[in-house]
Structure 1
Amino acid sequence: MHKQISLFLLVLFLLVSSASFKHTHFTKDMIDSLNQDPSVKWEAANYDQFAGKSFAELRKLLGGKRGEESSSEEARYNTRDVKSTVAIPDTFDSRTKWPQCIHGIRNQGQCGSCWAFATTGVFSDRLCITTNNVSNVVISPEFLIECDKTSFACQGGYGYYSWKFFMNTGIPLESCVPYTKDSLVYGNTTNAQCRSTCTDGSPLKLYKAASAYYIYSPITNYQTEIMTNGPVEADFDVYSDFYSYKSGIYQKTAGSTYVGGHAVKVLGWASDSNGTPYWIAQNQWGTSWGMGGYFYIYRGNSTLNCKFDNYMIAGTVSPPTCYGKAQSDSSVCNGHGQCVGPDTCSCSSGWGGTYCNITSCNGIVLTDSSVCSGHGQCVSAENCVCNSGWSGTYCAETTCNGISSANSSVCSGHGTCTTKDTCTCKTGYGDQYCQSFICYGLTGSNAAVCSGHGTCSAYNTCKCNTGYSGSQCQNYTCNAIAQNNANVCSGHGSCVDYNTCKCSGGYTGTYCSQVACNGILPTDSSVCSGRGKCVGPNNCTCTNSTQYGGEFCQVPKCGGILATDSSVCGGKTNYVCSGVNTCTCKTGYTGANCNSFSCFGIDSNSTSVCAGSGKCVALDTCQCTDGTSGNCTSSTSTDSSTRQSHASNQYGQTMWIQIVLCTVLLWIGAIVF
Structure 2
Amino acid sequence: MWQCPLGLLLLLSLPGHVALGAQQGRGRRELAPGLHLRGIRDAGGRYCQEQDLCCRGRADDCALPYLGAICYCDLFCNRTVSDCCPDFWDFCLGVPPPFPPIQGCMHGGRIYPVLGTYWDNCNRCWQAGNHSAFWGMTLDEGIRYRLGTMRPSSSVMNMHEIYTVLNPGEVLPTAFEASEKWPNLIHEPLDQGNCAGSWAFSTAAVASDRVSIHSLGHMTPVLSPQNLLSCDTHQQQGCRGGRLDGAWWFLRRRGVVSDHCYPFSGRERDEAGPAPPCMMHSRAMGRGKRQATAHCPNSHVNNNDIYQVTPVYRLGSNDKEVMKELMENGPVQALMEVHEDFFLYKGGIYSHTPVSLGRPERYRRHGTHSVKITGWGEETLPDGRTLKYWTAANSWGPAWGERGHFRIVRGVNECDIESFVLGVWGRVGMEDMGHH
Q: TM-score when scaled to structure 1?
A: 0.42
Query: Hey, what does 2:340 align to over in structure 1?
Result: 240
CA RMSD of aligned residues (A): 3.0
Runs of 5+ in structure 1 lacking a partner?
1-15, 329-337, 341-673
After TM superposition, give the deviation of residue 258 of structure 1 in Å: 2.9
After TM superposition, give the deviation of residue 25 of structure 1 in Å: 2.2
Q: Contact conserved, 2:178 with 2:331, CA < 8 A, in 1?
A: yes
In the TM superposition, what whole-angstrom CA distance separates every residue of 1:462-499 from its partner, at most 9, and x where no partner exists? xxxxxxxxxxxxxxxxxxxxxxxxxxxxxxxxxxxxxx
Query: Hey, what does 2:404 align to over in structure 1?
Result: 293
Q: Which amino acid in structure 2 is aligned with residue 326 of structure 1?
A: E
Q: Contact conserved, 1:186 with 1:192, CA < 8 A, in 2?
A: no
Note closer, same or farther for the CA distance 1:132–1:23 as it changes in structure 2 (3 Å cut): farther
Say whether 1:51 aligns with 2:135.
yes
State the alpha-carbon separation in 2 of the partners of residues 186 and 125 from structure 1.
32
After TM superposition, give the deviation of residue 165 of structure 1 in Å: 1.1
Note closer, same or farther for the CA distance 1:166–1:27 as it changes in structure 2 (3 Å cut): same
Note closer, same or farther for the CA distance 1:77–1:235 as it changes in structure 2 (3 Å cut): closer
Structure 2 matches for 1:94-243, cutoff 5 A?
Answer: 94-149=178-233, 150-183=235-268, 191-196=275-280, 197=294, 198-200=296-298, 204-243=304-343
Runs of 5+ in structure 2 lacking a partner?
1-42, 47-85, 87-95, 106-111, 281-293, 357-363
Note closer, same or farther for the CA distance 1:133–1:48 as it changes in structure 2 (3 Å cut): same
For CA contacts below 8 A with separation 6 or more, give which structure has more relative contact order.
2
Q: Alignment identity in percent? A: 28
Structure 2 matches for 1:542-561, cutoff 5 A?
Answer: none
Specify the structure having the higher radius of gyration (Cα).
Answer: 1
Structure 2 matches for 1:367-378, cutoff 5 A?
Answer: none
Q: Contact conserved, 1:64 with 1:156, CA < 8 A, in 2?
A: yes
In the TM superposition, what whole-angstrom CA distance separates every residue of 1:520-575 from its partner, at most 9, and x where no partner exists? xxxxxxxxxxxxxxxxxxxxxxxxxxxxxxxxxxxxxxxxxxxxxxxxxxxxxxxx
After TM superposition, give the deviation of residue 211 of structure 1 in Å: 1.4
Query: Hey, what does 1:80 align to over in structure 2?
Result: 162
Note closer, same or farther for the CA distance 1:18–1:249 as it changes in structure 2 (3 Å cut): farther
Q: Contact conserved, 1:27 with 1:52, CA < 8 A, in 2?
A: no
Q: Which amino acid in structure 1 is aligned with residue 405 of structure 2?
A: Y
Secondary structure of 1:313's match? strand
Note closer, same or farther for the CA distance 1:18–1:211 as it changes in structure 2 (3 Å cut): farther
Q: Which amino acid in structure 1 is aligned with residue 431 of structure 2?
A: A
Say whether 1:260 aligns with 2:370.
no
Secondary structure of 1:143's match? helix
Q: Which amino acid in structure 2 is aligned with residue 113 of structure 1?
A: G
Q: Which amino acid in structure 2 is aligned with residue 65 of structure 1?
A: M
Higher-strand-fraction structure: 1
Q: TM-score when scaled to structure 2?
A: 0.64
Secondary structure of 1:306's match? helix
Q: Which amino acid in structure 2 is aligned with residue 269 of structure 1?
A: W
State the alpha-carbon separation in 1 of the partners of residues 230 and 173 from structure 2.
40
Structure 2 matches for 1:18-57, cutoff 5 A?
Answer: 25-26=99-100, 33=113, 36=116, 41-57=125-141
Structure 2 matches for 1:183-582, cutoff 5 A?
Answer: 183=268, 191-196=275-280, 197=294, 198-200=296-298, 204-256=304-356, 257-274=364-381, 275-302=386-413, 305-319=414-428, 326-328=431-433, 338-340=434-436
After TM superposition, give the deviation of residue 287 of structure 1 in Å: 1.4
Q: Contact conserved, 1:185 with 1:191, CA < 8 A, in 2?
A: no
State the alpha-carbon separation in 2 of the partners of residues 309 and 18 from structure 1.
36
Q: Contact conserved, 1:101 with 1:136, CA < 8 A, in 2?
A: yes
